[in-house]
Structure 1
């Protein structure tokens, strides 16, 4: 689970990132990112809509994305990221989600 300092929780932060953040698209997720203060911890939010699957599937996908975010929080600084799971994420295993989320966060870090 992500630490409190690494979570995006307010609706205004989600809205700001989705509307004005840089985008990176993968086959399983869509990432929105924006630079925050230098040295600030990575903050991450996850959106998993109903089109991904039933509640069990959505929660599994959410937990997997958050687990990758927890590992990334130790390496990445100064970035706010919102990850939106696409329906194809329901059939993906953890290694596929891990690889894609790491790749997309790296792309956003370079672009932002």
Structure 2
């Protein structure tokens, strides 16, 4: 699980990353990455809308994304803020494929 310092919690931080960050669309997600230049752990935020499914489905997708980011966080550059927006197809995507797609998105945006 991601620790508190590794989570984006404020709305202004989400908006900054989504509006100003580099964007890469994958098959099941969209990743936004911005480099803050600060010397701290990378932070992650997740956007899972009602289009993905009901509350149980959305929370399952969010937990999967958190697990993937927790695994990848040691390789993400310090000071990076990452926001991942889950697309509706992510609810039916197997974990291995979701993981592969998210890691590919992070690599392409030079977060890793």
TM-score (norm. length: structure 1): 0.92
Segments ≥4 residues shifted beyond 3 Å:
none
Distance 1:18 1:61 in 2: 19
* Aligned position for 1:65: 65
* Aligned position for 2:84: 83
Q: How many residues align?
A: 110
* Aligned position for 2:51: 51
Q: What stretches of structure 1 of length at least 5 have no aligned partner? A: none
Pairwise CA RMSD: 1.2
Distance 2:29 2:3 in 1: 22
Q: What stretches of structure 2 of length at least 5 have no aligned partner? A: none
Distance 2:43 2:2 in 1: 9
* Aligned position for 2:102: 101
